[in-house]
Amino acid sequence: MDHLFLAGGIILLIFFIFNYIAQRFNFPPLLAYLFLGVALAGLFTEPEQNVIEQIANMGIVLLFFLLGLHFPLSRLVNISRRIWQAGVLDVVLCFGGSFFLAVLFGFDLLPALIIGGVAYASSSSITVKMMEETNRMTTPEGEFKLALLIFEDLVAPVMVSFLVGLSLQGEITAQAVAIIFAKVVLMTAASIIIAYFGFRKLDLFLKRYMTKDFIPLFAISIALIFAGIAYYLDLSKLLGAFLAGVMLSETGTSKELEHLISPIKDITLPFFFFWFGTSIAFGAGVIAPSLLMILIAWAFVGKIIVGFWGGRIYGLTFGGSLRAAFSLGQRGEFSVVIAALADTALRVFLGIYIVITAIVGVYLFRRAPAISEKVARLMKKT
């Protein structure tokens, strides 16, 4: 631990170099951090690994806190009304389908649920970044994809909480599920009440003192307190951080708070993907390789169905739905969060799944307009 500062500085410098190279080659930075963690896994002592894990926890908590800042209560209601049908289809096919396949191949319920959770959500960070780079943010299908990503962003914290709660219970029973459901509902309801009757009254205070150095202290303290409360209730700390963001969004200062907190998140979040990489022990081997190949194929088939039929339900044209269908396959940050709940052997399996779906998903996203045109011409001929 004597060389902690030197090691920390070197790690941050390496993060900078890998991020720069990744962005130059249009490669997802989170995968660069993950690969780096795998490569350097054996170089850290247990105390150093613990420090990395604690910084990683801070980074992922801030990510979910900033995510919650984007969702004031009125926006949550409006988005849910417009996208719920496509969102439910997404849950059934991508989570449910992958869970069913895992059970079919002999996995126990909890590992199968973790596999379903990893397979569920598209990567918001990768997808939004590519939408900006390809100028597809303002297209009709861009609006649909953003709405679907937001729906997944809302489901993911709850899903993580259930998986954390079930893993702590040690077994899956109707009573355990009911208890976790009651805790989630109770904490969510309490947060909504606090947001509506408490944080809404802080708008003038925050706007008046937004430039003062004590505002980040206040915002992060709320995020950590509610993350701690969720952890104390045997739920995911990420759900608590997300709800803290939702509450503070009611002050109408989301953009200003995000501007203050994002630099801290940008420094700490890479440690999460790096830490996950260091926790993958490839010496354990890859379990169920045949299931892995089937799940990777289903990862894209499921999202293509969700993108096309969900887009049609949303009101997109045939071509717009096709373009959306081939733009949602990349998994990323939420998949890594859920994969971190798995045991050592399953982490190797899930790590390979995340890397392959992210790389292939990025390729399909960039080729989506050309692929959709070819599919449309083929269907006209037939």
Under the banding of pLDDT at 50, 70 and 90, the label for residue 299 is very high
Task: Please tell me the distance from the alpha carbon of residue 144 to that of residue 275, in angstroms, as a whole number.
Answer: 33
Segment 166-197, tens digit of pLDDT: 777 666 777 778 888 888 889 889 988 988 88
Q: Is the pLDDT of residue 1 over 60?
A: no
Both structure tokens of 201: 């009254």
Fold of 46-381: Na+/H+ antiporter like fold (1.20.1530)
Q: Would you say 68 and 53 are in contact if contact means Cβ atoms under 8 Å apart?
A: no
Cβ(167)–Cβ(346) below 8 Å: no
- Output the six-digit token pair for 46: 């247990």
The predicted structure's pLDDT at residue 282: 67
What would the DSSP string read from start to end of 62-115?
HHHHHHHHT--HHHHHHHHHHHHHHHHHHIIIIIIHHHHHHHHTT--HHHHHHH
Centroid of chain to Cα 108: 24
Which has the higher per-residue pLDDT, 354 or 1?
A: 354
Pick from 165-174, 235-244, 358-367: least confident: 165-174
Arithmetic mean of pLDDT over the chain: 86
Predicted TM-score (pTM) of the model is 0.84
Three-point CA angle 32, 36, 40, nearest 5°: 175
Which tens digits make up the pLDDT trace of 129-150? 788 777 777 777 887 888 888 8
In sequence order, what are the residues at sequence separation of 6 or more whose Cβ sits closer than 8 angstroms to the Cβ of residue 226?
A: 191, 240, 241, 243, 244, 247
pLDDT surpassing 90 at residue 281: no
Task: Compute the average pLDDT of residues 50-63.
Answer: 90
